Structure 1
Amino acid sequence: MGIQIPWLLVCVSTVPIFMTYTKMKRMDAREMHEIQMRVKYHSEYWKKGNVFVKEFQDKVTAQVMNTADPLVGRDIASISATELAAAENPARARRWFLF
């Protein structure tokens, strides 16, 4: 009984490999063409998607740079009081309507 278990495991595990091998041998030109077109469409789809992502990323980067705080990245000690007052957004400073 102990000798039969490994052989049974080997036989069961090699069945999918054998089925795949025989399917590859029986594959006709139409199936090969379908697979090739599927791979081609998939690669073209991702290529178009990458172009869209790159263009969208450039637009978002431009928007962020246009709306960014002009004082970001500067040393605090080098910013004058007039620049701080000019950069401060008065609409954002007022949070309470009653006080």
Structure 2
Amino acid sequence: MLINIILVIFAMVGGGILIFFISRICKQYKGNVDSEYIELFPREEMYIENAYEGDRFNMSDNEKKDSEKWAITQRGSVRIACGVYFTSDEYTKYRERVLKTDLP
């Protein structure tokens, strides 16, 4: 008998919560159509130009050797330690080679 009373109380509380949320949803969609809204992130202000945009990164062979030497002391520098990146001269040669290849 006590269990039935507790279950009825839970059902009444749950139904009240359900009716509350349904009324809030209806109020939201049936609200004023002419109301204004504020855009937090307007599209025209989303893009901020990078300070180095369009500039090429210049790296010499000596800088590459130094960075490979000191990469051992830093965490997460596997690509630098293995030398899997271009210097400026290597990149220009690679870029010229790629641009010379014919597209299918």
Same fold (TM over 0.5): no
Higher helix proportion: 1
Instruction: Tell me: higher relative CO, structure 1 or 2? Use CA pairs within 8 A at least 6 residues apart.
Output: 2
Tell me the TM-score normalised to structure 1 length.
0.39
